[in-house]
Amino acid sequence: MAHQWRGVIREYADRLPVTEATKVITLGEGGTPLVLAQKLSELTGSTVYLKVEGMNPTGSFKDRGMTMAMTAAVEAGAKAVVCASTGNTSASAAAYATAAGLKCAVLVPEGKISMGKLSQAIAHGATLLQVDGNFDNCLDIARKLGESYPVFLVNSVNPARIQGQKTGAFEIVDALGDAPDIHVLPVGNAGNISAYWKGYKEYSAPFESATAGTLPAVSTKTPAMWGFQAAGAAPFVAGHPITEPDTIATAIRIGNPASWDTAIAARDESGGFIDAVTDEEILDAHRWLSAKEGVFVEPGSAAGVAGLIKKHAAGEVPTGKTIVITVTGHGLKDPQWALRTEDGSEVQPVKVPNDVVTVASELGLEEN
Ligand SMILES: *Cc1c(COP(=O)(O)O)cnc(C)c1O
């Protein structure tokens, strides 16, 4: 197994709060592909890459943070972990808790949770409770459980999660040879934008490693961070929390982001912005990714692409730059959106008899 990717903790151990003695809980997360988005590059005149985080073990970037959080939970002697989740955190927590031999409790908000995410949490044996409230209420309860009961909180308010998630930025710089000019991503609870910014900053300056002395800077610059929220759940755009967040992009249906201050810092220090895109723009970008780039994501994951397309239409995307967009989760998490046509009707397969001539004619082929 000489060339096997070892998961983000072992790959970046000298830049994470771990030691030789740490018992690492991993499912081989990270090492995800950086895919050249040919059509988005043609559209914008910049070189656009997709960091395809759906290729993580449980199908979203949450695994990068969960390997750290679960490792920390084991180190702390925890027997059980708890998280609030719009879906992907629960899938990841349940899988990593299983790998760690810990019990896992998951609080999900009322309303529709995607079948893909729900089935993962159940398959991995988590205890799943649907709370009569929204995500922000779930996180509130999870935090209180972590404070006053013998369970370890693995939400991104746990700093170990952000530490793990910063490795996404490291991988991008390692692949490109330097930081991109612009980094685009969806923003929900705002842990990921905070984590990427932390990673880019750490890679652009000498780093005091706890285990390996002073490490030299790897990149010469940091990117502008462009974050996009769903219009019905856009507290950063409004400048205050939203009490009734509403969007089809369930992964970013969050009204009161836990990482508020660090996201604002990422936005302002990087010279970027946080803007909003509508559900229609998100679904258009979701279709663009599937039909033009060959990359299948869940709707929330397409918010960054929707934002880039919107900014391009407004003449606000520079040409000749390197742009990376994190597409955060896999399309199979929430496949129903792929089966919906632009006019909202359901796609049905064409039925044909067991006969080559009819099949050929249905395909518009003529015999040669
Ligand atoms: C969690 C998640 C997000 C939002 O990330 P935050 O760190 O909460 O801003 C976006 N897309 C997907 C698929 C997610 O799972």
**What pTM does this model have?**
0.95
Q: For atom 8 of ligand 1, which residue has the closest CA? A: 189
pLDDT digits (tens, 9 = 90+) for 328-365: 999 999 888 888 777 778 888 899 999 999 999 999 99
What letter represents residue 38's amino acid?
Q
CA distance 168 to 191: 12
Which atom in ligand 1 lies closest to the alpha carbon of residue 194?
7
Give the per-residue pLDDT at 344.
75
Q: For atom 13 of ligand 1, which residue has the closest CA? A: 329
For residue 84, list its beta bridge partners: 107
For residue 1, pLDDT over 90 is answered with: no
Give the per-residue pLDDT at 2.
67
Which DSSP category does 365 fall into? -
pLDDT digits (tens, 9 = 90+) for 270-316: 999 999 999 999 999 999 999 999 999 999 999 999 999 999 999 99
Give the per-residue pLDDT at 259.
96
Which atom in ligand 1 lies closest to the alpha carbon of residue 87?
15
Residues touching ligand 1 (Cβ under 6 Å) are: 60, 62, 88, 156, 186-192, 251-252, 298, 300-301, 328-329
For residue 245, pLDDT over 70 is answered with: yes
CA distance 258 to 313: 31
The pick from 189, 197, 225, 254 for probing ligand 1's pocket by mutation, whose C-beta has the most ligand atoms within 8 angstroms, reads 189
Give the per-residue pLDDT at 244.
92
Q: Are 134 and 41 in contact (CB under 8 A)?
A: no
How many whole angstroms from 256 Cα to the centroid of ligand 1?
14
Instruction: Report residue 16 as tokens.
Output: 């994470």
The pick from 32, 53, 61 for probing ligand 1's pocket by mutation, whose C-beta has the most ligand atoms within 8 angstroms, reads 61
Give the per-residue pLDDT at 343.
77
Tell me which residue of 323, 318, 306, 324 sits closest to 229, measured CA to CA.
306
Give the per-residue pLDDT at 340.
79
What mean pLDDT comes out for the span 253-267? 97
Q: Are 9 and 68 in contact (CB under 8 A)?
A: yes
For residue 73, pLDDT over 90 is answered with: yes
Neighbours of 122 (CB within 10 A): 15
With b for 16 or more beta-carbon neighbours within 10 A and e for fewer, the 190-203 pattern comes to: bbbbbbbbbbbbbb
Tell me which residue of 10, 4, 63 sits closest to 330, measured CA to CA.
63
pLDDT digits (tens, 9 = 90+) for 121-178: 999 999 999 999 999 999 999 999 999 999 999 998 999 999 999 999 999 999 999 9
Give the per-residue pLDDT at 348.
86
How much is the mean pLDDT over the chain? 96
Angle 272-9-35 from CA coordinates, rounded to 5°: 50
How many whole angstroms from 174 Cα to the centroid of ligand 1?
23
Q: pLDDT above 90 covers what percent of the chain? A: 91
